[in-house]
Structure 1
Amino acid sequence: MHPKGTAYKSGFQLKSIIPILITFLTCAYFLYTWAINSQSSNILKSSSNNEDLYRPDFNLFKETDQVSYTDLLLDVPATSNGWENNERVLFLVPLRDASEHLPMFFNHMENMTYPHNLIDLAFLVSDSKDDTMGLLNKLLKKIQNSNDPLMPFGEIEIFEKDFGQAVGQGFSDRHGFQAQGPRRKNMAKARNWLTSVSLKPHHSWVYWRDVDVETIPPTIIEDLMSHNKDIIVPNVWRPLPDWLGGQQPYDLNSWQESDGGIQLAETLNEDSVIVEGYPEYATWRPHLAYLRDPYGNPNTEIQLDGIGGVSILAKASVFRKGAHFPAFSFEKHAETEGLGKMSRRMGLEVVGLPHYVIWHIYEPSDDDLRHMEWMRQEEIRQSKAGEIKEIYDRNIEAGFQLIEYPSNLYGVQHPNEVTLNGFLNYKHEIELKLIEKENLFKQRRRYFEEMLDDEESSIKLKAVTTLASLEKFKHKLEHEENIN
């Protein structure tokens, strides 16, 4: 106990409060930091388990004409009955010097049964010298301004870009072996370019179609979509003139891989591109086109490794995942066949329908044109030969009629009825007739001997045959004379 009157100074009042405050604030800071880190860890852990994913609230932002927001957390659905689920289809059409085929193409478009308002069109016009662009705009305006409310399509985009395609548009130019590699790589660039500028987040399906398809079901999109595959193609044939067989497989780019194809690929350099249907590349692959049965089930599916580009329906997610048309040698393939190979490598399902057929137009090759010219010349030759044959046949027929031996010559009906005087008269007349016919034989012989100098082998044959016939009839008459 302190003595009274003693004064003590307490240091607790100031010196002790400051360290306590510092300690308290430090602890609070660490607690706050720990809580934040713990919450962030829980969010990341939840995200990794695909549970309670973070979803931004776009209502916090004001959408304007210049700014749009799309939630890409979940891909748009692509189902087997997309027409019932309002699934949008991006319809892609590459065009080059296509004015000849555009009217036919738009006739098919008008007849399509998939809801037109759910189909967005995108055209790429490239390396064209004709009026493809002008006619395309004209036909689009016509169909979009139709009085039928179900006729107009959805969004329409036209792009124009040249890729330096030097290969001609003729059948033999496009399908010549030497042109295949460079041509296919250039086409792949065009397809990739069109896909990248036209595919939107709201598209569920992508449908590629060539402009020169002659016959195709109006339900083509629904028919292919109903299989609900990542990528699906129909069988493609083409009609032929009767003298060429009537019909023929067209698209040989849809196939299943073979041991021969794999072995061939191993022997080629890294920039080579294998193309089907050419003796230079014998792959022995099963082609979709040759598996067709006209009476088969059109819904039959087979797995494919390569696909053709005449008509392709694919889920939009295929391209969003990174699949594309290789403009380089991918496993020794490019463009559509390369897309098939790449998609299979990515684990996607690629199928074809062997008994579901669409028909490409017939384009005569150089060989076809040469054969048609030969047929024209042959028709002219046969026509002239027919006229000559008719003249000679008339002359030959007339010659045989003159030497025909009548059964009732000079009223004598039968040897038993002939009297002596009648028989002598009959013999005399026969002798005169033989003299007359001998002169005729000589004239005819000279005529047909002149025919032997003719260059036409068929005429020579006629002459030789006729001379032999004349000799035969002459001997017959002489024999009958001796009998009489």
Structure 2
Amino acid sequence: MLPSYASPSPKMLSRHQANAYSKGHPYPQGGTGTFTISPHRFQPRSSPTALRKRRALLIRLAICLGVGLVFCIFVWPGVSIMPLITLGLLSSGEDFQLETVRYYDLSNVGGTARGWEREERILLCAPLRDAESHLPMFFSHLRNLTYPHHLIDLAFLVSDSKDRTLSVLTELLEGLQAEEDPNQPYGEISIIEKDFGQKVNQDVESRHGFAAQASRRKLMAQARNWLLSAALRPYHSWVYWRDVDVETAPFTILEDLMRHNKDVIVPNVWRPLPDWLGGEQPYDLNSWQESETALMLADTLDEDAVIVEGYAEYATWRPHLAYLRDPYGDPDMEMEIDGVGGVSILAKAKVFRSGVHFPAFSFEKHAETEGFGKMAKRMKFSVVGLPHYTIWHLYEPSVDDIRHMEEMEQERIVRENEEKEKAERAKKIKEQFDDPNSQWEKDKTDIQSLAMLEKAKEQQATATPVANP
């Protein structure tokens, strides 16, 4: 219970009476014996007791600080003393970092011609759809790449697959990362699952049919953009796009393309054929230079139309990278191009960071990789192809190949029947006129036999006597 305070009686001396302020205005004495304080004239006073308390408090703080310094120096080695003293406010920018903050200097990830010497990281992107049968071949290529594997991060997008693509991919990645050879394991690996409602079948006739091209390529562009946005990190200097159905490519392809130091660069892509189909054939017709005919054609098409190469419906008369190949040409020869094929693309990461992407819509009447090439050129990036540097795509019979094989099979059957009939006729002729000498000898013998028989009859008739009458 709080004590109650009564007003002092007039007979009692004021407790401030002996003080010099007792005669002044700050503490006037009234008939009631109470006192009041004028706020606008009040000044705090110092007393020996207050100074002693303040001095004791400072001494305690000094002792606590000294104990803390001793603890940091002798009990907790390695700790920084200055941040403890200054609470981190006077630390330099390099020392003052939070664990959840990452600092990236993008000026150091621009991409150079000799990135393997500067330890520049590459993001290798591979879109997958029903790729179970191709994955073992693709991983054999990964094992043979000469670019330092620890500087390559792998990113896979598995979409709209009905086979065992995901499980086979996981098994092969586990085996690759568990290799005893320290040069084999790769860096960070990302597997992303995302379906885009792709309805076009994976057989050759469906994938390469003209009617499916526009919608198919727009969905493929979405897949590439999803994969890139999910996997690209601030420390990547390059992005390499690679189809899993590439059959043959140089082990040094990353260094070979990187040495040109271009923003976007692609090799030439051909495919092997059976001997009866000619032995080889250009495959990727999406790498080309623009032509006036194609620009005039684009002006006549609808806004959402997508021009695709290699079809009679769109006669563009463009110079194609594939058709300019010389097997004995200089593999380092460059050719400026506008459209880009997607089988094998090496691009600097800054191209994508600047906003270039794979348009999932009609961009200048193109989509996906061809639209990517056009967009990169529009943003003043260098886009080149190597007409004499060739990689080989896996052979898959096209619709024309299948039709040609059927025609050749029919021709073979007709030819075999004709040869069979011809052989039978020759056999009959041979049986009839096989050995004319022996037949002549036989006929001669028969004639001689008849002649001798006639002669014998004549001799017998001459030797027989005539009877008397």
Q: Could you state the TM-score of these two structures normalised by the residue count of structure 2?
A: 0.73
Q: Kindly provide the amino acid, as one letter, of the partner of residue 160 in structure 1.
A: E
| Distance change in 2, residues 1:182/1:403 (3 Å) | same
How far apart are the structure 1 equivalents of 2:205 and 2:391?
22
Cα RMSD (Å) of the superposition? 2.5
How far apart are the structure 1 equivalents of 2:377 and 2:174?
40
Q: Kindly provide the amino acid, as one letter, of the partner of residue 207 in structure 1.
A: Y
Q: Kindly provide the amino acid, as one letter, of the partner of residue 189 in structure 2.
A: I
2:34 alignment counterpart: none
2:96 alignment counterpart: 60
Instruction: Give the superposition deviation at 1:241.
Output: 1.1
Instruction: Give the superposition deviation at 1:373.
Output: 3.8
How far apart are the structure 1 equivalents of 2:268 and 2:212?
24
Instruction: Give the superposition deviation at 1:159.
Output: 0.2
Q: Report if aligned partners of 1:289, 1:354 keep a CA contact under 8 Å in 2.
A: yes
Aligned mate of 1:149, from 170, 182, 186: 182
| Distance change in 2, residues 1:399/1:193 (3 Å) | same
1:351 alignment counterpart: 384
Instruction: Give the superposition deviation at 1:410.
Output: 7.5
Whether 1:250 and 2:283 are equivalent positions in the alignment is yes
How far apart are the structure 2 equivalents of 1:185 and 1:395?
67
Structure 2 runs not aligned, ≥5 long: 1-91, 456-469
Q: Kindly provide the amino acid, as one letter, of the partner of residue 281 in structure 1.
A: Y
Q: Report if aligned partners of 2:363, 2:371 keep a CA contact under 8 Å in 1.
A: yes
Q: Report if aligned partners of 1:80, 1:225 keep a CA contact under 8 Å in 2.
A: yes
Q: Kindly provide the amino acid, as one letter, of the partner of residue 188 in structure 2.
A: E
1:435 alignment counterpart: none
Q: Kindly provide the amino acid, as one letter, of the partner of residue 61 in structure 1.
A: Q
Whether 1:180 and 2:216 are equivalent positions in the alignment is no
Q: Report if aligned partners of 1:255, 1:286 keep a CA contact under 8 Å in 2.
A: yes
Q: Kindly provide the amino acid, as one letter, of the partner of residue 369 in structure 2.
A: T
Whether 1:102 and 2:138 are equivalent positions in the alignment is no
Instruction: Give the superposition deviation at 1:178.
Output: 1.0
Query: 1:79-228 counterparts in 2 under 5 A?
Result: 79-228=112-261
Query: 1:255-404 counterparts in 2 under 5 A?
Result: 255-376=288-409, 378-380=411-413, 382-383=415-416, 386-401=419-434
| Distance change in 2, residues 1:343/1:75 (3 Å) | farther
Q: Could you state the TM-score of these two structures normalised by the residue count of structure 1?
A: 0.71
Query: 1:440-455 counterparts in 2 under 5 A?
Result: none
How far apart are the structure 2 equivalents of 1:144 and 1:344?
38
Q: Does the residue aligned with 2:316 lie in a helix, a strand or coil?
A: coil
How far apart are the structure 2 equivalents of 1:243 and 1:427?
69
1:425 alignment counterpart: 451
How far apart are the structure 2 equivalents of 1:377 and 1:277?
27
| Distance change in 2, residues 1:403/1:112 (3 Å) | same
How far apart are the structure 2 equivalents of 1:180 and 1:305?
19
Q: Report if aligned partners of 1:270, 1:332 keep a CA contact under 8 Å in 2.
A: yes
Larger Rg: 2
1:53 alignment counterpart: none
How far apart are the structure 2 equivalents of 1:364 and 1:290?
20
Query: 1:28-43 counterparts in 2 under 5 A?
Result: none
- Identical-pair percentage: 61
How far apart are the structure 2 equivalents of 1:363 and 1:83?
35
How far apart are the structure 1 equivalents of 2:208 and 2:441?
75
Q: Report if aligned partners of 1:207, 1:311 keep a CA contact under 8 Å in 2.
A: yes
2:40 alignment counterpart: none
Q: Report if aligned partners of 2:106, 2:235 keep a CA contact under 8 Å in 1.
A: no
Q: Report if aligned partners of 2:110, 2:348 keep a CA contact under 8 Å in 1.
A: no
Q: Does the residue aligned with 2:269 lie in a helix, a strand or coil?
A: strand
Q: Kindly provide the amino acid, as one letter, of the partner of residue 151 in structure 1.
A: Q
Structure 1 runs not aligned, ≥5 long: 1-55, 413-420, 430-484
Instruction: Give the superposition deviation at 1:401.
Output: 3.3
CA shift digits 1:68-89 (9 cap, x unpaired): 3123463513111111110000
How far apart are the structure 1 equivalents of 2:277 and 2:95?
66
How far apart are the structure 1 equivalents of 2:255 and 2:185?
18
Q: Report if aligned partners of 1:70, 1:201 keep a CA contact under 8 Å in 2.
A: no
CA shift digits 1:51-80 (9 cap, x unpaired): xxxxx92532221xxx23123463513111
CA shift digits 1:399-443 (9 cap, x unpaired): 11376686667889xxxxxxxx979939989xxxxxxxxxxxxxx
CA shift digits 1:123-178 (9 cap, x unpaired): 00000000000000000001100111100000000000000111111112111111
| Distance change in 2, residues 1:120/1:406 (3 Å) | same
Q: Does the residue aligned with 1:285 lie in a helix, a strand or coil?
A: coil
How far apart are the structure 1 equivalents of 2:320 and 2:113?
26
